[in-house]
A and B are shown apart, each in its own frame.
Chain A
């Protein structure tokens, strides 16, 4: 074990920003923290960096308690969501800055700076000042400065959120490849975007309102959310949640939407449940003969990039349907909506998962 968080808690003025997080991270691992705004992601990264002191708990790196060690003596670097570089130094000197603190020879520094600059495609920009760079180039410079040190721990706090989405996808892909080859450094990357977390992969911690909800391999957590809360945080648009009952071998979702209790939900006892369906598991065309069909009124169609999100109402339940491609729908139109009961998540009234789809049968796309 290379890095251990033990019961890290941060309380400021009576408000809990981070509540008892315990976690282990392997040497050289890539870790994603996923959570909505104000989930405590930034607090967690700042505690790990040593920029803030935990109210209780501690962090161990290679068995050493980091609490008494000030920021400037920890081997940690951080990339912020704002583009932070030294404004008075050019790109070369920005990257060289942390190296100049040590005892490296000038030609070693030069070699390291140029190597990492090439890796991040800013080799041509070394003589520019940060203010003459685009946002993406500024963030590349910031990452180059963090990588050049070869620290134990590299923290990235929503580093791409201030870039437009095309550039974000491109740079994320590049960064991911760089991280894969980054030796022993433990990387922690925080994001609000479930899709980004899936793209990044690695190990995941889901945070909400300061509480750690679930951790594990990113794709496994996505496929097996243990609670309704995780399912909500880890789906964009959020998972459709419908109150329902199981009586005499039939499940009734919402008002009169009857679903056969077969497959993974066949073991359900009679009672009240919350049923969850991903927006991408709902379709406007029949996918198989076992599909459940219901009719709903289309209330809103949002087109985002190359995807369409449809909001449709069936009695008093509002459903969100995720269609790939761009589709025009007339509002107020009645549409048939299909889903398969094998994609249903079933949560108890306490929020814990009672039954989830088997991984192999899930039709939800893994990106």
Chain B
């Protein structure tokens, strides 16, 4: 019985791993192939089964006009994602702190309604937002600019930051704030000196979500830019397999997930659930 259970368990784990990791390995090995390696049947092991080549990767950084220039969209994506995430996290954290510690009231609108208002931004299908965003950026003359994209992404990412941080602040007892004030801190000092240093796990998780969503977004980057400005997801999708060789496509796909993987490894210790919820006993 136990043997069968173990067998099924490991089979399931292996099957799922293959499903998740397989495409990555496939893309990885393809990115080092040449035309010969791709068309001559299924080959996975470099040197043994095919001769590895860096051609696919070189192509990505070829600025002569013949290859694909991925550097500019890459830098644009980094700029937009990091600035929008940072600003969203700062504003979102302040909003969430206010919402968790003070009572607001405007007619029938109370704290819970304000929180829901933020989160509701993410309930709407993106397509609903695309036309208003387009018109707004047009009116501001910010279409096809990095600044325009940053503003749009702040609107999209801040709800995530608010959501994560409201939840996090509610796990910090109000008595901690009160103790800080009794110890002579004004409300602003209390936030900066006592609360902020104790919400690193929340900031990391909130920031990570912002970066993930921002980096991976294709839809708004596609709608709101044309020729001058291009973000990475759009650039990658724009590569056409009939023109661009497979090995270059694979390399571009891999390079676009590298920052997220690196980031996830750096902040791994904050991602375990215990660190997020049990920050304060």
Contact = CB atoms under 8 A, between A and B. Distances in A.
Contacts of B182: 49, 51, 71-72, 74, 76-78
A135 to B, nearest CB: 10
B173 A84 contact: yes
A267 interface: no
A101 B185 contact: yes
Interface of A: 49, 51, 70-74, 76-78, 80, 82-84, 86-88, 97-98, 101-102, 130-131, 142, 145, 149
Contact of A131 (B175, B194, B197, B281): B281
A237 to B, nearest CB: 32
Interface string B161-190: 000000000000101101111111110011
Contacts of A142: 179
A149 B183 contact: yes
Given A101-B184, A101-B185, A87 B179 contact: no
Contacts of B279: 87
Would you call the interface of chain B mostly helix, strand, loop, or mixed?
Answer: helix
Interface of B: 173, 175-176, 178-186, 189-190, 194, 197-198, 279-281
Contacts of A83: 281
A77 B176 CA distance: 13
B178 A72 contact: no
A360 to B, nearest CB: 44
A78 B280 CA distance: 19
A158 to B, nearest CB: 13
Contacts of B176: 84, 86-87
B196 to A, nearest CB: 10
A72 B184 contact: yes
A149 B179 CA distance: 13
A192 B198 CA distance: 33
A87 B199 CA distance: 10
A142 B198 CA distance: 17
A98 B184 contact: yes
B3 to A, nearest CB: 42
A71 B181 contact: yes
Q: Among the interface residues A82, A86, A145, which one has the most CB atoms of the partner chain B within 10 A? A: A86
B178 A130 contact: no
21 contacts: A51-B181, A72-B183, A72-B184, A72-B185, A72-B190, A73-B184, A77-B182, A78-B179, A82-B173, A82-B175, A84-B173, A84-B176, A84-B179, A86-B179, A87-B198, A88-B197, A97-B183, A98-B184, A101-B184, A131-B281, A149-B183
Contacts of B178: 49, 51, 71, 78
Q: Among the interface residues A74, A82, A83, A97, which one has the most CB atoms of the partner chain B within 10 A? A: A97
